[in-house]
Amino acid sequence: MIERYAIPEMTGIWTTEARYSRWLEIEILAVEARFKAGLVPREDYEKIRDNASFRTERVNEIEEVTRHDVIAFLTSVSESLGTESRHIHYGMTSSDILDTCMAMQIRDSGNLIMQALKQYGEALAGLVHRTKGIVCMGRTHGMNAEPTTLALKFAGHYSEYLRCVKRLEDGLKSSCVGTISGAVGTYAYLDPSVEEYVCDKLGLGVEEVPTQVVARDRHAQFLYALSSIGGAMERFATECRHLQRTEVGEVEERFGKGQKGSSAMPHKRNPIVGERLCGLARLLRGYLVVGLENTPLWHERDISHSAAERFVFPDACGVTLYGLRKAAELASGLKVLENAVTENVEKAGDRYFSQSVMLALVRHGLTREDSYALVQRIAMDAMESGESFADSAVSNNEITGVVPTEELGNICTIGNHLRNEEHILGRVGLG
């Protein structure tokens, strides 16, 4: 993770020192399990528990010769012990500590990400509450469509946030599993109870059918959860960027005192946070591709995934955490320019009543095709002339001959369009 976007709480989880510390914790717990089963003398267990240690510099020095980080680590640990070191890594293989350690790192990273995700959700909920009832133009294909409210617009992003929470929970449950099963995963030299003991102590699940490694589709599911969070942030950021465009001007990112928008143009206020979130989302989708590529390993194991994972997981977790904190800032600090919102609704005219009139004609017996053609002709004439569509409809004998004038007046209102706002918001608990 580059320093510009690094968050210490997250980067600390993925340091080499932290990795080796987790390896040691796993190894000691495995000895503890065998001690409790009567397979390790108490004196040896207590010496390991109290004295086992490593020096990162020493591990690195040994790895220069062994070209194997786990063997280098185990050698360093053995140097801190006496003959009791023979119980360390008994019946285990490298992946037992590598994969169980990664589950621990994903668990700890996931806790930070979940906290930030919920803060983002709270910021979105606040944005929905403060924009209730503010009528705005809904747009499809970038063009004016029918009225909606800003609260409904932002509630859609809150609904997506709720799905992200569920996906992250599922991704963490899937990927936070360990294995202490030995070479090719058969428990040939360790009873499965050792694995169960270690993983239970660490708060992890157990890989049901290990092949020496934890299956990589589990990790891909976690990366998908992070990618979906990136997509949610990007969709919200894109909406805010469009609404901030000069010709729309309905919202604005928080612009702090002393902040600068352009090195050349002092008047600029650019949507830099939103643009940054869009860029970060691209990274998260890329990390997911790597995770999917890592799933089809050869036979019981190869290490084609190993180098890629050392890049992908620290960065994916770091990018997600950083992005969520920025997305929460964007949502909580978003400035709504209500006058511009209202002006844009007024500028749109009232052609958005076209569907109301068309469906009224259908209710009163016209075919949909005839109703559409009649209303479209009036709407297009109103657009060309700048006249009111509703007035044109009321004065058109072809329409009033089918639909009573009073009914037309009742249905051609914004209130009629938006009468279900509270009901929709209630579906996501924001009513």
Catalytically annotated residues: 141, 262
DSSP letter at 337 equals -
Q: Which two tokens stand for residue 95?
A: 């992946």
For the chain, how are helix, strand and coil distributed in percent, rounded to 5? 70, 5, 25
The whole-angstrom separation of Cα 278 and Cα 283 is: 9
Can you tell me which residue has the tokens 């729309």? 248
Roughly what angle, to the nearest 10 degrees, separates helices 16-36 and 192-202?
130
Q: How far is the CA of 109 from the CAs of 112, 173, 263, 316, in angstroms?
A: 5, 13, 37, 10
Q: How far is the CA of 81 from the CAs of 26, 37, 217, in angstroms?
A: 17, 22, 38
The whole-angstrom separation of Cα 138 and Cα 143 is: 8
Q: Which residue type sits at 295?
A: T
The three-state (H, E, C) secondary structure of 368-390, written as one string: HHHHHHHHHHHHHHHHHHCCCHH
Which of 147, 154, 161, 162 is CA-nearest to residue 131?
Answer: 154
What's the CA dihedral at 13, 14, 20, 21 to 10 degrees? 0
Q: How far is the CA of 392 from the CAs of 300, 379, 388, 413, in angstroms?
A: 74, 8, 6, 15
The whole-angstrom separation of Cα 180 and Cα 201 is: 13
The whole-angstrom separation of Cα 292 and Cα 95 is: 19
Which of 63, 86, 93 is CA-nearest to residue 76?
Answer: 63
Q: Is 155 exposed, middle or buried (CB count within 10 Å of its CB: 0-12, 13-18, 19+)? A: buried
Region at 91 (left for phi over 0; alpha for psi -120 to 50; beta for the rest): left
The whole-angstrom separation of Cα 425 and Cα 427 is: 5
Residue 212, classed as helix, strand or coil, is coil
Helices and strands, number each (H, E), in the chain: 19, 6
